[in-house]
Structures are given as C-alpha cells and as structure tokens.
Structure 1
Amino acid sequence: MPANPKYLSKSTPQRIAKISAAILGGYLVSSTFHMALALWLPDHKIVLITSVFTLFILWMVLMIIPFLAKNGWKVWGIYLLTTLLFSVAVHYGQIIHPI
C-alpha cells in the first residue's frame, strides 16, 4: 500500500535534510552519547561491551525522528547541538577521568 502523498515532503532540500539527519546525525548523537557514558561511568568496560547493541538501537530510534518532524533542518540543529553537548562531556570526561 503506497504512502498518502499529503504526508510526503515535496521539497527536495527537505528530503535531503531528513535523510542525512536520520543517517549521519543519528549516528553522531548515539556515538557521542556512548562515548560520554563510557567516560563518566565508573565501569567503562561494561559500557563499551554493551554499547555495541545499545548504540544500534538508539541509532534506529534517532533515524525515525526526522521523518516525524515537519522541518528536517530543525532536526539537524537539535542533533548538532546534542552532539556538541555530548562532545563537551567527552572532552571534560577525558580531563577528569583519564583512562
């Protein structure tokens, strides 16, 4: 059964923004989240072992979100800000808790 055309994006830049936010932005957010989690939790080895599975699950959830939003550029902004926040946490985690 095909999708209803009224729910599809008609703008090509919006389609590109949503697809790239889903694939690249979702991966950036999920990977920096797991890096920050590994640096800030006391037992980082367990986090690294389980991150193989939880990173994929989180990435799949973050792939769905851009297609639920009306504007793909807002999702990109949210993903980039979240990635920046987790990257700062990784940076300070390496300073405070060196592995």
Structure 2
Amino acid sequence: MPANKKYLTASASQRFAKITAGFLGGYMVTVTLHIALAYWVDHVNVLMTLRFMGFLLWCILFLLAFLVKNGWKIWGVYLLLTLVFSAGIYLGKIYGTA
C-alpha cells in the first residue's frame, strides 16, 4: 500500500535538514547536556546515566525533528541548546565541583 501523498510533500532540502538535525543535532544536545551535568554533580553517576538515558534522549530528539514543519528551525533549536549546554560546561569548569 503506497503512502498518502499529503505526507510526502517535504522537499529534499527539508528531508536532509530533518535527518541531519535529528541525527547530529540530537547527538550534540545529548552529549553536551550530560557533560554539563557531569561538571555540576557527581560525574561518575552522570556518565553511567549517559549510557542508558543518553540513548533514549537521542532517540526522542531524533523523532522530534520529524514532527516540526521546518527542518532548519529545529537545527537552530538544537544548536541553541548545544550552545547553552556548552556554556554550562564552561561555567562548570570554572565554578563546578569537578
């Protein structure tokens, strides 16, 4: 049974943006979040949590990229979150407990 045509209207650039945002952007957000948390709380516990929760969060962010209409906007959101968590890493190096 073929797919419904109304769900296949995205252009090639939108498909590319959504796939790369979900795959790469979701991974960047997941990793920077956990590294920032590792600087602020006990890093052993956070890194063990990353093994399990990290994969789940990455999958959720990957699927979330396909729910938005514009793939470039989700790229912007993921890059903004990555920058915020990177600032947390920087501040964690200065003021954190690690």
- Tell me the matched-pair count: 98
Range 84-93 or range 7-16, more displaced: 7-16
Cα-Cα RMSD: 1.3
Scaled by the length of structure 2, the TM-score of the pair is 0.92
Query: What's the counterpart of residue 27 of structure 2?
Result: 27
Scaled by the length of structure 1, the TM-score of the pair is 0.91
Query: What's the counterpart of residue 63 of structure 1?
Result: 62
Q: Give the distance between the partners of 1:95 and 1:2, measured in 2 at CA.
A: 56
1:51 aligns with 2:54: no
Q: Give the distance between the partners of 1:77 and 1:51, measured in 2 at CA.
A: 24
Query: What's the counterpart of residue 89 of structure 2?
Result: 90
Query: What's the counterpart of residue 37 of structure 2?
Result: 37
Q: Give the distance between the partners of 1:54 and 1:2, measured in 2 at CA.
A: 35
Where structure 2 has 5 or more consecutive residues not aligned to the other structure, the ranges are none
Q: Give the distance between the partners of 2:79 and 2:9, measured in 1 at CA.
A: 22
Query: What's the counterpart of residue 72 of structure 2?
Result: 73
Percent identical residues? 54
Where structure 1 has 5 or more consecutive residues not aligned to the other structure, the ranges are none
* C-alpha contact 1:39 1:90 (8 A) present in aligned 2: yes
